[in-house]
Chain A
């Protein structure tokens, strides 16, 4: 079964808007939750990551919100730009032995 569920599958946002992508997990042993950004023709690259001991992590326009009790975490992109158009993957892992990835969200930011 899918260890990490991601939604929506695709997202269209106007320039300057807020993009929100959600993920949910089941395994409470997960202790590391990264988000990856992938541009066409490239491999995924780490965008931002969080550990379950904090509820929010912000880096520039990107924020992870983490709800341990609900086993959910989300990525917020503030002031979305056309250059943010990419596919975003959430992931979850423990001990860095294995990572489980969500199904991906294709974000299109319209100018």
Chain B
């Protein structure tokens, strides 16, 4: 089974702190994604990466950066945490290469619930 793990389930940080969220997948997937999940807004894409050292902005990249130094690890960085970044953060991975079937999916981690005070 594909396993996507996130370094923390819960985090409490103070405004202005630099925050690192780590995500690791064990299936050699090429693509990795960071989303934030907020009630009534669904999942919104922050950043994604097709390969090591490659990154693409998603729909809401402001206030965030990412790092992918190794294929299995994708980090989300909040340079200076703000209260409006309090949210659930979900990491996902996908094998890549597209597909023609109907079971392709992104595999999600359990999420990190971040509270910024």
Does B bind A? yes
Residues in A lying within 8 Å of B, measured CB to CB: 4, 6, 9, 32, 34, 41-46, 49-51, 57, 89, 91, 95-99, 101-104
One digit per residue, 1 when the CB lies within 8 angstroms of any chain A CB and 0 when it does not, for chain B 76-117 equals 000000000000001010101011101111101111000000
- How big is chain B's contact interface, by range? 20 to 34
B110 touches A42 (CB 8 A): yes
Min CB gap A46→B, angstroms:
4
Q: Which of chain A's residues have a CB closer than 8 A to the CB of B42?
A: 4, 6, 89, 101-104
A50 touches B106 (CB 8 A): no
A43 touches B102 (CB 8 A): no
| Cα(A4)–Cα(B44), bound, Å | 11
Min CB gap A40→B, angstroms:
10
A96 touches B99 (CB 8 A): yes
Q: Which of chain B's residues have a CB closer than 8 A to the CB of A95?
A: 98
A43 touches B90 (CB 8 A): yes
A46 touches B103 (CB 8 A): yes
Q: Which of chain B's residues have a CB closer than 8 A to the CB of A46?
A: 103, 105
Chain A CB within 8 A of B58 CB: yes
Q: Which of chain B's residues have a CB closer than 8 A to the CB of A51?
A: 100, 102
Q: Given contacts A43-B90, A89-B43, are A99 and B102 in contact (CB under 8 A)?
A: no
Chain A CB within 8 A of B48 CB: yes
B111 touches A34 (CB 8 A): no
Whose C-beta in chain B lies nearest to the C-beta of A33?
B102
Whose C-beta in chain A lies nearest to the C-beta of B50?
A97
Q: Which of chain A's residues have a CB closer than 8 A to the CB of B108?
A: 43-45
One digit per residue, 1 when the CB lies within 8 angstroms of any chain A CB and 0 when it does not, for chain B 32-63 equals 00010001111111001000000000100000
B40 touches A103 (CB 8 A): yes
Q: Given contacts A43-B90, A96-B94, A96-B96, are A50 and B45 in contact (CB under 8 A)?
A: no
Of the candidates B40, B41, B96, B105, the one whose C-beta lies within 8 Å of that of A49 is: B105
Q: List 21 A-B contacts (CB under 8 A).
A: A4-B42, A32-B102, A41-B110, A42-B110, A43-B92, A43-B108, A43-B109, A43-B110, A45-B108, A46-B105, A49-B104, A49-B105, A96-B31, A96-B94, A97-B48, A98-B45, A101-B35, A101-B43, A102-B42, A103-B41, A103-B42
